Structure formats: structure tokens, C-alpha cells
Chain A
Amino acid sequence: DQQVKQNSPSLSVQEGRISILNCDYTNSMFDYFLWYKKYPAEGPTFLISISSIKDKNEDGRFTVFLNKSAKHLSLHIVPSQPGDSAVYFCAASGGSNYKLTFGKGTLLTVNP
């Protein structure tokens, strides 16, 4: 039972354009969501997070949107840069359990 789903295994965008990465979740107890970036053979690097009391959080080129009613969140990267090419993981946590549940990841490729 996959509680965090990233249905797009890959995404390709042109440099300078917007990248939109999507994530859906099923567990109503999740109240904190995070996005991580991962290069091959490396550990994930934290990008941005959002609490369920918000619907948007912005940090530079990265913005995360949360739609609680749809149990959906998305990561927007604008403008996209070739260095953004990596696997992006969506993760969620909730309740008194601080453990993170990860999606399968989306491979983003930004073409010059």
C-alpha cells in the first residue's frame, strides 16, 4: 500500500521553463510534506517543505503547493536549470510519528 505516490517516473523540460513535479498521498494523518533532490549514488538533499496549515511555501526558484482536499502537492521549479536534473522525492510525515514516507521519485531532466 503506497501512501505517497509520484505517478510520473520521469519529466523532461527545457532550460528556463517551469518544471512541475506532482505527488499524491492517501494518509489523512500526514501533516508535513517535504521534497528531496537526489543524485545517483548520493543521499537525498532537502529542498523545501510545507506544513498542512499552509497551502504554499516558496524558497527562491522552488515553490511547493499543497491541496489538502485533493491530497495533492506539487513542486514548481522556475526557471529550470540543467543543474536541477536529478531524482526528486516527495516525502510525508504525520501525527506523533516523525518517520518519513517517501514516494518512488521522479527523474527530472532539464535540457539546455
Chain B
Amino acid sequence: GEDVEQSLFLSVREGDSSVINCTYTDSSSTYLYWYKQEPGAGLQLLTYIFSNMDMKQDQRLTVLLNKKDKHLSLRIADTQTGDSAIYFCAERGNQGGKLIFGQGTELSVKP
């Protein structure tokens, strides 16, 4: 079945780059997403990438997609303490609009 995997924790220093990785199993995924969850809040869409793209850049965010290895990454440049949150990778499944989420990576940014 469909599955999305992420490492659970990442700790970086303020000003460094953060790279959060994700692997997925459904090769028919059309869209892949990164959602951000701040403490005590719901999820908000951070960025997404269409499956025919290799890379998408949006200000400090860079998304890389390797379809051959079914690997997605999110790079945050110049990481700030405000970036501390849980980041979820998700893929659009093959049934309608349902999303399959990874476990979430908790990013801790230390000053």
C-alpha cells in the first residue's frame, strides 16, 4: 500500500540550512506536499511540487524530487527560530483527493 516515511527529529543552529527528507512508495503520485505544523496549531501548506518537476524554489525553501528513488526533500536556507515546527511530507494518493502523510519531522532551531 501507500506509505510515506520521514525521520522524526532534526536539530540545527540558527542561520544554518535545514534539510528534511521523505520517501514515498506510490509511484503514481501526482503531487507531493510539505505541510508545517506550529505548536498547538493545525497544519498549513508550505509548498508543493508536481510530479513532473525535479525542483521548486520559493524564497528560502527548495524542494527536490527524485522520482526514480521516490525521495522528496525540503531545504530551508538561513533557518530561523521561527522555523521550529513539525514538517509533514504528504503525497496525493490514487483515490480522489486523499493525502497520505508521513510521521512528521520535528525541526528544532537553536540560537
A and B pair up: no
Residues of B within 8 A of A (CB): none
